[in-house]
Chain A
């Protein structure tokens, strides 16, 4: 009977609170404003459902909803007092179930606010991809709303009804959401502070290709933390309420509180521990592993001339590698010990040569010293999972990993033996500049689709005559489509979205480029992802094979027609393809690219090119155009030949000197 009454009171309190909130004019108005806000801030055509729901609008919606939940929770918690109904209510034979009922009502009435982003994303990509995202999105949105409402109830229970509480709530929300993110971003050692970011704004950033794979257990720990935090707050509320109203301590509430505290500490400690394992980038805000740095130029006595790597991903979390390498002594002295670097997570099980393993170091001991110019072939069997994390913009995520739901092995993982001994860090780069021939084959793919920056042989094999920075990715839903010279790799929705843009902008622009750079016919791998997908930002991976890898942000695909975006891309392409990836050349190549882009846009009309270029801003490009106006295509050919012949002198030359140099080359003065 008592239980029936409790359930009945709970339901009555729940339904009344729903009625009081939903039937108030402000609720409908707030929902309308909310829908307008979501629609206005979302451009569904620009991104996949994952991007919208888990990286942009959806995340922002949950974050902002937490602020609304704080307010509505506070209003709900103080409604009886504001209406002077509290004294009546306190005299009724009810208990904490009415508070819980009201709290639940607040949570339930706010759930519709999670729907607009879902509706908007319905048309963004495949239905199945959209459908698969719903449970997590709603689950996490509900956790955040539940927590903030519980927090508001606990706060109001503690502080009581005061007008100054509402600005305090806003300040608290700002401090937690913005403050923790700012602190974590600026101080990588404080990255664990993201745990306090209950609004999820900026915390646990997901990636386009990998979704949550890169976050490992962090989302579960984060969710667990806030589920138990919410339960703990409600238990505290119940404990205080029962103590006050019944002059006794509730054993059940006390136990729930203790269990919550234990779980809260456990989840929090694990979150901090996982964060503590992450590596901070050596410098800058972008991890070094995400960009191609200047390769090491040290002269190593040993080189790996050839790699033949077979990986069996069939054994779940511990892939097995069979790697045959051809080692060459390029020094003048014999080598008795052959020093290699291989990720310490990979356990060598068998080798055709005696070896020693110490951390990342792998020392092979040939029966006789390897003589100068002599080569030696060794087969290594090794296995193990790789999970390397780093702190990126204040958030921890995996940079390299081998998991059943996704594989990312960038060159910094040392997933194949690299000549020399060096620390395997996510940064700096671990490979020498020397190129090798590669053959990579994957087996036991477990439903993953793979891609590398090598030339594809078949669905599971890639090879190249000369490459470095070799990476391998395995994604469950990965598409690879060839469009002209471009191979588009990414999620199917993104590839579909990128294809017309590439056809419309990249390929015609490249035709103009090819007119002047006809000595090479590069192929391009365009990864539709972002830097957080862990792919090299831009890599001249196969100079000999003419494959250039680059990344396009999914969100910027549709802005490719913008000059300032595309010429930057072409600039990078050109720098990579024609100037040895020498970033010091970018000052001139950047303007050359701008000229060529304007050339493409203006159909070669120098007057229209001049109109497109801003002479004050693009002085070098304008100087190039002046040369073009006088000499036509022959002048540009001559200029490019001069640039290539004078690379050493042009490196880092300021733009005013470059203008003078161009004029001198063109005989304009």
Chain B
């Protein structure tokens, strides 16, 4: 299922949330990265037909999003960032209702409910009221409802937010396993989620697409720019002002910081191999360098 975005714009009054986004999404897992407020959720909400774009076009498979939202909903599975269920119902009742909403015939519905509950490992608690579910169970039920009706396009918005590390890993694996021949659009600000599962990734910042490519290509953006530097505690402020620090850890002698810099920082850094997070930060740094105050940036 191809998703094509052309010059997509979304304004909320005077605020432009999306600014001319062009994107081509193919099959498999697709990651959408960006900081909070980058426009990811707005893009998700447009793709799920919840809000209309201000201008531009979106083509999902054979359907135009503006003209054929009903058809798109028929092939769509969506798990929003912030959602809930009717707490008095159990998972089975809830999925039965959602299955009816998705036009799944009754007999087929029964089978699909069993299948998705099994896939998300909720079969054992299917008759328990969802009001008593943990956060992870609710997220899994969220993905289960998205998978009902065998949608060609699944959109998940910040699915791992609020989950503990173990739940997060399980959830990522689940998404990867379920992607199969579907297009799964995963929106997140957690780079690790993308790294582990996506074949393609896009980075949004302040409503603009600033990167589109493979995770490897994103990682490559940081090639030769990731350094590790040992500093004294008193140097922290200076280093933080000059460079974009990705990580830091304390040592008996002071601190070891991982940072991005086009040149050897302070002439005493050790170059290291970049990861996806470094690539993401490098892309974000480049945007900051052009958009924010130049004098505040590192050389």
Where the two chains meet, the residues of A that have a C-beta atom closer than 8 Å to any C-beta of B are: 5, 8-9, 11-13, 16, 19-20, 23-24, 79, 83-85, 87-95, 98, 245-247
**What are some 6 contacts across the A-B interface (CB < 8 A)?**
A8-B100, A13-B101, A19-B89, A23-B88, A93-B101, A246-B69
Interfacial chain B residues near A19, Cβ < 8 Å:
89, 93
Q: Please tell me if the beta carbons of A247 and B52 are within 8 angstroms of each other in the complex.
A: yes
Nearest CB in chain B: distance from A100 CB, A:
14
Q: Please tell me if the beta carbons of A84 and B82 are within 8 angstroms of each other in the complex.
A: yes
A20, A83, A84, A92: the one within 8 Å of B101 (CB) = A92
Q: Please tell me if the beta carbons of B86 and A93 are within 8 angstroms of each other in the complex.
A: no
Nearest CB in chain B: distance from A250 CB, A:
12
A11, A91, A245: the one within 8 Å of B76 (CB) = A91
Interfacial chain B residues near A93, Cβ < 8 Å:
70-71, 73-74, 101-103
Asked whether any CB of chain A lies closer than 8 Å to the CB of B15, the reply is: no
Asked whether any CB of chain A lies closer than 8 Å to the CB of B49, the reply is: yes
Q: Please tell me if the beta carbons of A84 and B84 are within 8 angstroms of each other in the complex.
A: yes
Interfacial chain B residues near A89, Cβ < 8 Å:
101
With A8-B103, A245-B49, A247-B52: A85-B69 Cβ-Cβ less than 8 Å? no
* A87 CA to B88 CA, complexed, in Å: 19
A5, A9, A23, A90: the one within 8 Å of B50 (CB) = A90
Residue-wise interface mask of B (8-51) relative to A, using a CB-CB cutoff of 8 A (1 in contact, 0 not):
00000000000000000000000000000000000001001110
5 smallest CB-CB distances across A and B, nearest first, come from: A84-B84, A12-B100, A93-B73, A91-B78, A92-B101
Q: Please tell me if the beta carbons of A79 and B86 are within 8 angstroms of each other in the complex.
A: yes
Residue on A nearest B80 in the bound complex, by CB: A87
**How many contacts A-B (CB < 8 Å)?**
81
Interfacial chain A residues near B69, Cβ < 8 Å:
245-247
Interfacial chain B residues near A83, Cβ < 8 Å:
84-87
Q: Please tell me if the beta carbons of B103 and A88 are within 8 angstroms of each other in the complex.
A: no
* A512 CA to B50 CA, complexed, in Å: 85
Q: Give the contacts of B45-80 with A (CB-CB under 8 A).
A: 45, 48-50, 52, 66-67, 69-71, 73-74, 76, 78-80
Interfacial chain A residues near B70, Cβ < 8 Å:
93, 95, 246
Nearest CB in chain B: distance from A261 CB, A:
27
Q: Please tell me if the beta carbons of A92 and B86 are within 8 angstroms of each other in the complex.
A: no
Residue on A nearest B82 in the bound complex, by CB: A84
Q: Please tell me if the beta carbons of B97 and A16 are within 8 angstroms of each other in the complex.
A: yes
Nearest CB in chain B: distance from A416 CB, A:
70
With A87-B82, A247-B52: A9-B88 Cβ-Cβ less than 8 Å? no
Interfacial chain A residues near B73, Cβ < 8 Å:
91-94
Q: Please tell me if the beta carbons of A91 and B103 are within 8 angstroms of each other in the complex.
A: no
A5, A24, A84: the one within 8 Å of B88 (CB) = A24
Tally of chain B residues near chain A (CB < 8 A): 34
Nearest CB in chain A: distance from B242 CB, A:
43
Asked whether any CB of chain A lies closer than 8 Å to the CB of B210, the reply is: no
Q: Please tell me if the beta carbons of A91 and B48 are within 8 angstroms of each other in the complex.
A: yes
Interfacial chain A residues near B82, Cβ < 8 Å:
84, 87
Asked whether any CB of chain A lies closer than 8 Å to the CB of B145, the reply is: yes
Nearest CB in chain B: distance from A8 CB, A:
6
Interfacial chain A residues near B289, Cβ < 8 Å:
none
Q: Please tell me if the beta carbons of A9 and B84 are within 8 angstroms of each other in the complex.
A: no
Q: Please tell me if the beta carbons of A85 and B85 are within 8 angstroms of each other in the complex.
A: yes
Interfacial chain A residues near B67, Cβ < 8 Å:
247
Asked whether any CB of chain A lies closer than 8 Å to the CB of B174, the reply is: no
Interfacial chain B residues near A16, Cβ < 8 Å:
86, 89, 97
Nearest CB in chain B: distance from A174 CB, A:
32
* A91 CA to B73 CA, complexed, in Å: 6
* A84 CA to B96 CA, complexed, in Å: 18
Interfacial chain B residues near A5, Cβ < 8 Å:
103
Interfacial chain B residues near A79, Cβ < 8 Å:
86
Nearest CB in chain B: distance from A451 CB, A:
60
Interfacial chain B residues near A87, Cβ < 8 Å:
45, 50, 78, 80, 82-83
Residue on B nearest A83 in the bound complex, by CB: B84
* A84 CA to B85 CA, complexed, in Å: 7
Interfacial chain A residues near B96, Cβ < 8 Å:
12
Q: Please tell me if the beta carbons of B84 and A85 are within 8 angstroms of each other in the complex.
A: yes
Known interface pairs A19-B89, A83-B85, A88-B80; 7 further A-B residue pairs with C-beta atoms within 8 A, sorted by A's residue number = A16-B97, A87-B45, A88-B83, A88-B145, A92-B73, A93-B101, A246-B70
Residue on A nearest B47 in the bound complex, by CB: A91
Q: Please tell me if the beta carbons of B78 and A20 are within 8 angstroms of each other in the complex.
A: no
Asked whether any CB of chain A lies closer than 8 Å to the CB of B98, the reply is: yes
Nearest CB in chain B: distance from A94 CB, A:
5
Interfacial chain A residues near B80, Cβ < 8 Å:
87-88, 91
* A23 CA to B86 CA, complexed, in Å: 12
* A247 CA to B142 CA, complexed, in Å: 27
Interfacial chain A residues near B88, Cβ < 8 Å:
20, 23-24
* A23 CA to B96 CA, complexed, in Å: 17
With A93-B70, A246-B70: A88-B86 Cβ-Cβ less than 8 Å? no
Q: Please tell me if the beta carbons of B101 and A9 are within 8 angstroms of each other in the complex.
A: yes
Interfacial chain B residues near A12, Cβ < 8 Å:
96-97, 100-101
* A23 CA to B74 CA, complexed, in Å: 31
Nearest CB in chain A: distance from B19 CB, A:
22
